[in-house]
Structure 1
């Protein structure tokens, strides 16, 4: 057995759902072979008792041979013991395959999600991502778990058929023809089952989306009196999801009933023909008992085969959703021939807005529309491409116009490798999450000294949060940091961004959820902490704007004015309106 999760999950084949399933199987083929062997041995040994009981009757009872009777009883006891051991081994192998496939899928999906970044939110709903992580990986795991059962069932049915054919051609043919006929008879149920399962999964994803939106905006909904309206919508969507689940359940129940009824008819047929053959003297009493035992036992592998069909349907639906996520491509991609970025200490120039971020300074950008600020931050960090592109490099200090990309010391961001852009320019906005685990590793995953941690927490005015947390820096944070208020989360995320120490740090409304006193402290400390390093503040907070070395006023997506905060308040009425609106005036 190999460790779970795998150190390196590999590059998945996501050209189609079945190709992905096949790729998963190839990545864990040794464990699948082992599980198939264990299941085959288990089912093979499980199939021996009817034949052994037949020998007990014929050799021990019919012929009145005590030694033969004891021998075959001992063989039956030994078979039961071996069967118990093999059952545990086969189950362990099957469960291992389940975990192996589920964790591998979780790894590749999480890796893709991390690389997609903001693209994931734009292309796939959060509910669909939740559905992939909560149920689809489970269905795919079940598909690999049933692989050993499928192989064991096929081999067992084939072995029993050979035994019956050698003992009675009529009974053997009845089984050989009857088992495939049962599987084929279930075929018409598979397509509608697949269709209803797909619909149910889509409804679940949509419901998870609504739930996430409601929870995220619960305070706003209560404030505007929309809580009841959204509750009604959620209730209606929930009922539709329930009805879709009931439709799936009906077909699932029909499939399960057929799994019992059709093999039962086969058992009845085998018993009927077997009894007639025994009365005619064509087979012995022991063989009749064995035939009956095999006919009854065949229900198990036949049910396994039909169960695999249902699991395959659910697995295909799950793989379809997984492949959709894995097939997504980032909004921005690496250039075919990346060029090295400029030397450290370069400026950023955004031709779309006209904003220049000068090196080593704290630049604030006040946008009349919040969407313009978000778009600017994404362009400056190349989270989205623009035409013309953002330039990175030298800006002549005496010239009002920034340098163009036709010089060696100025590079367009799309010409640089994405890894270099991400390593030099960092955006921190309010969509970032806090992840579960010790606070120390959440703030600095790659490690940081206590002195650096203390300095970043002080700059973010977050020292009191750590002091109040049981365990301090070693205290545990829950998923998304739900134990913290919105303002506390914002300060911790600011401290985390500061600890990265990027060449260019872009902060989008980093203090929108904190009180004025804390905001003023953050403005003063942030300027000192990032002194001499390039920092961009996208904000309309006067307390932060007043601490900036330079303020850019953007309206309708274009730079309207730049200068000091108080200078712009005096000379730019549009800037004054933007700032005062952001201040609540």
Structure 2
């Protein structure tokens, strides 16, 4: 696998039963690259390990005054130097390639999982956790994957050097062969506390990242309530916790590094002291002592790889565990009905609530519980990933959405959340999405009342062309107001033109006049298509062909907006934000001809939901004009 071949054609199916299994799966997927890196690592470390041989020959040649042996030693040193240089370069290339390709594989897997789960991912895993896994955790996993080959080469070379020393000089070789494993294993008792401290640091960093992302996402709200300093103080506190945890972790790893310096130094002193005594007694030659000393000095080099692999594994294992936990999230990907069995269509029916949205009509749904609307939207878009076992699936034309492939279900039913996200790019790219082709972008923008948005974008065109379609929209549409983002998201949904379109509070951030025009445009553009709008806005409800009122997750009333106002006090209480006692008995509050439905009277002095929404919309208008 080469970097130029990225992205992977198929990242594969990971083993997510544990973090260790995920790391082993990654290693197996890169077996060819790891083998190549190991071979080049053996060339490099083997060349370094062989330097004591020509050095010993050279020293002994000087003692014996042998010019030919000195020349031989010089030639060997030159050859080994070339091997070490080539091996080091190629090892670095192969190891970094393993790092990049493994991280790219995991990134593709995470992207695929995000696409599979959709909005349910952030309901099951915190957004900060996802960010931490896709950045810092992947880097640590890649570090371990990259370090494995270097460690393998260092370990094999160390075993070979110890064996060679035992054969070359048994007395000193045995001392080295016993001492090196002791040095390599000496740090093992320190690894568990070091791992715990590193994991604590990562958890605190994840919480700080989550707090930062939440603060940025709600910055406009924080400014509105004057909460910037409060949240800034919280983030300062969280970042200081991360700093203290990082210092504690660094202290432990510095102790491990100190042990890796002190113990090999003691071994080197012991070998030199013992070897010097043997040389004075005439039991070993000076060249042999120099060779053994040089070999022991070399062994300090692979010991650093032992420390690195221990640190990399300690950091990567919890990171791999978290990545495996995210990748293990699942929802049904394929149904029991084969793809291509026929286009989905017909009435949309939810067995949980009893809601039925007739085919080809605009149905508005009012929920007594605001949270119930979000749960209903998830169900209407397909069986949610976090639904309890045994929860029946939504039916479209009598066919359960769970029984069709996920892609087919998403093509048939499109759900727009109450807080839709706009990706960065130009407006043309935003609207260039898979669609039926029946609705042009201009028609969708007009129906969503985006005229003023297009004017504002044309004025801010980066290339001075005045074409709003070529104007760049920043990440999540932060350069736009809430109402502008909402209308562009609605236009994007209308361009898709699905068989069933589910909108959750699509006009909560626009003013009343714009909302009325959007309702008219939506009804006209979606003629003959099934549309479900979850809302409590009287303007949208009054234009719906059919209104369904849900109370306690069950259908409590069906009819037109005005019929339900007159016949269902609980519905009137939800829409007008009155209590049922204020609403009076059924039929007691009939609107006067020409009066606005749900509008407050001058005599009762109450402020209904419409008043509060109008006030909010006036504030939003002020923000848009600013």
Give TM-score, length-normalised by structure 1. 0.88
Give 1:449 shift: 7.8
Give 1:513 shift: 2.2
Match of 1:375 in 2: 375
Within the candidate set 501, 504, 507, 2:497 is matched to 501
The 5-angstrom pairing of residues 165-204 of structure 1 reads: 165-204=166-205
Give 1:175 shift: 1.6
Name the stretch that deviates more: 337-346 or 365-374.
337-346
Evaluate the alpha carbon distance shift between residue 173 and residue 459 of structure 1 in structure 2; reply closer, same or farther with a 3 A threshold. farther
The 5-angstrom pairing of residues 21-420 of structure 1 reads: 21-59=23-61, 61-330=62-331, 344-384=344-384, 389=392, 392-393=395-396, 410-420=398-408
d(CA) in 1 for partners of 2:262 and 2:494?
A: 67
d(CA) in 2 for partners of 1:504 and 1:523?
A: 17
d(CA) in 1 for partners of 2:203 and 2:552?
A: 39
Give 1:50 shift: 2.3
Contact 1:390/1:412 (CA < 8 Å) preserved in 2?
yes
1:70-122: CA deviation from partner (whole Å, max 9, x where unpaired):
44324323322332222111111111111111111112122223222343223
Give 1:435 shift: 2.9
Contact 1:9/1:104 (CA < 8 Å) preserved in 2?
yes
d(CA) in 2 for partners of 1:38 and 1:340?
A: 51
Contact 1:340/1:416 (CA < 8 Å) preserved in 2?
no
The runs of 5 or more residues in structure 1 that have no matched partner are: 395-409
d(CA) in 2 for partners of 1:582 and 1:37?
A: 73
Within the candidate set 443, 459, 466, 1:455 is matched to 443
Match of 2:22 in 1: 20
Contact 2:334/2:404 (CA < 8 Å) preserved in 1?
yes
d(CA) in 2 for partners of 1:460 and 1:108?
A: 36
Contact 1:439/1:474 (CA < 8 Å) preserved in 2?
yes
d(CA) in 2 for partners of 1:440 and 1:46?
A: 59
Match of 1:559 in 2: 555
Match of 1:403 in 2: none
Evaluate the alpha carbon distance shift between residue 125 and residue 270 of structure 1 in structure 2; reply closer, same or farther with a 3 A threshold. same
1:432-478: CA deviation from partner (whole Å, max 9, x where unpaired):
42334454444334489898333333333343465344355455544
SS of the residue corresponding to residue 12 of structure 1 reads: coil
Give TM-score, length-normalised by structure 2. 0.83
1:133-187: CA deviation from partner (whole Å, max 9, x where unpaired):
1111111101110011111111221222133222211221122111110122111
Evaluate the alpha carbon distance shift between residue 383 and residue 457 of structure 1 in structure 2; reply closer, same or farther with a 3 A threshold. farther
Match of 2:589 in 1: none
d(CA) in 2 for partners of 1:222 and 1:466?
A: 25
Match of 1:402 in 2: none
SS of the residue corresponding to residue 561 of structure 1 reads: strand
Name the stretch that deviates more: 198-207 or 317-326.
198-207
Q: CA-atom RMSD, angstroms?
A: 2.9
The runs of 5 or more residues in structure 2 that have no matched partner are: 577-607, 613-626
d(CA) in 2 for partners of 1:12 and 1:262?
A: 40
1:311-345: CA deviation from partner (whole Å, max 9, x where unpaired):
11111111111111122233x67666789988654
Name the stretch that deviates more: 507-516 or 293-302.
507-516
Name the stretch that deviates more: 273-282 or 223-232.
223-232
d(CA) in 2 for partners of 1:422 and 1:450?
A: 18
Evaluate the alpha carbon distance shift between residue 535 and residue 578 of structure 1 in structure 2; reply closer, same or farther with a 3 A threshold. same
Evaluate the alpha carbon distance shift between residue 340 and residue 157 of structure 1 in structure 2; reply closer, same or farther with a 3 A threshold. closer
Contact 1:363/1:549 (CA < 8 Å) preserved in 2?
yes
Evaluate the alpha carbon distance shift between residue 196 and residue 392 of structure 1 in structure 2; reply closer, same or farther with a 3 A threshold. same
Contact 1:382/1:413 (CA < 8 Å) preserved in 2?
yes
d(CA) in 1 for partners of 2:610 and 2:334?
A: 40
Evaluate the alpha carbon distance shift between residue 469 and residue 576 of structure 1 in structure 2; reply closer, same or farther with a 3 A threshold. farther
Name the stretch that deviates more: 239-248 or 527-536.
239-248
